[in-house]
Amino acid sequence: MMDFMLQAWVSSIIERKKAAWVLGKGERWAPGKKLKLLFAGYNGARNMGSDARVEEMIRQLRHVLGPENVEFSVMSQNFKLTEGYFKDTRQVHLPDIFPPFLANEVPQNHGVVACEGSMFKSKFANALATMMIGSLGIAAAENKLSVGYGAEAGHMDTPIRKMCARFCKDSLVITRNEESRTILRELGVPTELGTDTAWTFEPRAPEYGRKVLSDHGWDGRKPVLVICPINPFEWPVRAAVGKLIAMKTTGAHKSSHYRGPYFHNSGPEADRKYAHYLTAIGNAVDAFRKRHDVFVIMVATERLDARPARKISERLGGVPILTSDDYNMYEIVSILRACHLMASSRFHGIVTSMPGLVPSCGITMDERIRNLMKDRGHEHLLMEVDDPDLEPKLLAALEHLAANGEKIADGIGRTVVKNLKLMARMGVYFEEEVHSRYPEFTTRKGQWGWEDYLPPMDAGLHRLVGMYS
């Protein structure tokens, strides 16, 4: 019921903004003004992937449009947790109850760039999809730039599908795979093919990651196996006023409370599947380390992941746990790239490790890692979180990583460069969309190569481009 109320609330705001725009209200861009863009996303929760991809969007689009021509703002749920992120970008607070915020903030800008990777799906939270659609819809209603950048579409509950079709038909959504384009095209939403935007992310120097590993007991010689777990069965998050009242009065549902009026999925079936997932990973890693002399660490790339990381660590006798609570995104990615083998249920754990050519396998809860492994040609390194045979399949995948690391790394390197070129093409699409909305906006002149549409890249990426172009 609460999700439905949010959807109705946001829909009414979009309709009112459309009427107000016709009457001449709202911020309008004119030549000589800086183009003000609002980056709408799930930042400020110490989710390394969400923050890293937005960091690179901001760097790329500032580079493409010219820093002197733009003024960027980015949403954050907690300024303390995004301190030091998003250089030269104004941060605005995104509250749990967001419709009034959208109604006030979006019209102050000349456009919206929707940032969340899981943009159009009900898997995680209908409230999040509603916020994404609302941000794009308000901008489109005011005839402003309205772009979903590096988006993914999956299963949507019927009300969300209808909202998406109704309010995003005048937006441009650049997806990160063809599967998402197919879903959105069926809803009449304009699309182009792109990719994720974290490929160009530049972490701290490699020495930093190696030092952190050494500080946690690595001898500098053993291969490091990193596990990035999640709780796949606590999703979706749904707003539930009844649960909130019960929690406040009796303490019920406290263990499944996310924040505000939102609660994780819970119940005996979710608990059973979660226990199987933890046991399978713990047993497979334990069997692997008995065959191979490896140093095992757990990395929680999102704050919530610290809980499954601790449970698996306990099964393994207390291996080190490194969390995004203690390390920022620049540090976490440096640590991941210092490792030698990876098993991850976090999409961006895999993506951000790939420029470091870390051989990885994926344990997926949805289509994101599945699509990535298909793109790499590594479907044999993919497992499902609820597979009854997860334990033997993960052990086999780890053995394959150990035996064929060089060949896997070669495929990873080729995939990184392929996605860099797709990301550059996204910059072209975005520049064209800006000109479509604002023909008088001035951008760079002359002929530009594909690399000119990317933010500045580090030496490692330039080396990969030289190897695989």
pLDDT digit string, tens, across residues 118-128:
899 988 888 99
User: What is the rounded average pLDDT of the residues 402-408?
Assistant: 96
pLDDT value, residue 125: 86
Q: How far apart are CA 392 and CA 164, in angstroms?
A: 40
Checking if the pLDDT of 441 tops 90, the result is yes
Residue 183 CA from chain centroid, whole number: 19
Q: Worst-scoring range by mean pLDDT, 18-22, 143-147, 291-295, 319-323?
A: 18-22
Choose between 255 and 466: higher pLDDT: 466
At 1, the pLDDT band (50, 70, 90 cuts) reads: low
Residue 252 pLDDT: 84
Q: Mean of the pLDDT values across residues 180-202?
A: 96
CA 226 to chain centre: 20
Same fold for the domain at 2-200 and the one at 206-403?
yes
For residues 443 and 417, is the Cβ–Cβ distance under 8 A? no
pLDDT value, residue 262: 80
Measured from the Cβ of residue 210, the count of other Cβ atoms closer than 10 Å reads 18
What CATH class has 2-200?
Answer: alpha beta
- Mention every residue, 6+ apart, whose C-beta is less than 8 A from residue 461: 199, 200, 355, 416, 420
d(CA 327, CA 310): 16
Reported confidence tier of residue 401, pLDDT bands at 50, 70, 90: very high
The arrangement of strands across the sheet holding 257-259 comes to 238-239, 262-263, 257-259
pLDDT band for position 30 (50/70/90)?
A: very high
| This prediction's pTM | 0.93
On average, the pLDDT of the chain sits at 94
User: Closest Cα partner for 358 from 410, 320, 321?
Assistant: 410
Per-residue confidence at 312, pLDDT binned at 50, 70, 90?
Answer: very high
Q: Give the burial string for 36-63 (b: 16+ CB within 10 Å, else e).
A: bbbbbbbbbbbbbbbbbbbbbbbbbbbb
End-to-end Cα distance, the chain = 52
pLDDT at 189: 97
pLDDT tens for 88-101 read: 999 999 998 899 99
Residue 406 has pLDDT above 80, yes or no: yes
CA distance 220 to 228: 21
Helix axis angle, 459-468 to 405-437, nearest 10°: 100
Confidence tier at 367 by pLDDT (50, 70, 90): confident
What is the pLDDT averaged over residues 433-451? 89
Q: Which CATH number fits domain 206-403: 3.30.470.20, 3.30.110.30, 3.40.50.970, 3.40.50.2000?
A: 3.40.50.2000
Phi, psi of 54 (to 5 degrees): -70, -40
With CA atoms as reference, report the closest residue to 389 among 232, 284, 308, 316: 284
What is the Cα–Cα distance from 422 to 195, expressed in whole angstroms?
6
Position 444 confidence tier, pLDDT thresholds 50, 70, 90: confident
Helix axes 268-291, 306-315, angle to 10 degrees: 50
Q: Is 104 helix (H, G, I), strand (E, B) or coil?
A: helix
Q: Which whole number is the average pLDDT over 139-160? A: 95
Give the residue extent of every domain in the chain: 2-200, 206-403
**pLDDT confidence of residue 90:** 97
Q: Is the pLDDT of residue 249 over 90?
A: no
Arithmetic mean of pLDDT, 150-172:
95
> CB under 8 Å to 142, separation ≥6 — which residues?
17, 18, 21, 26, 106, 107
β partners of residue 36: 71
Residue of 305, 154, 324 whose CA lies nearest to 234: 305
Q: Are 261 and 275 in contact (CB under 8 A)?
A: no
Q: Is the pLDDT of residue 447 over 80?
A: no
Residue scoring higher pLDDT (45 or 24):
45
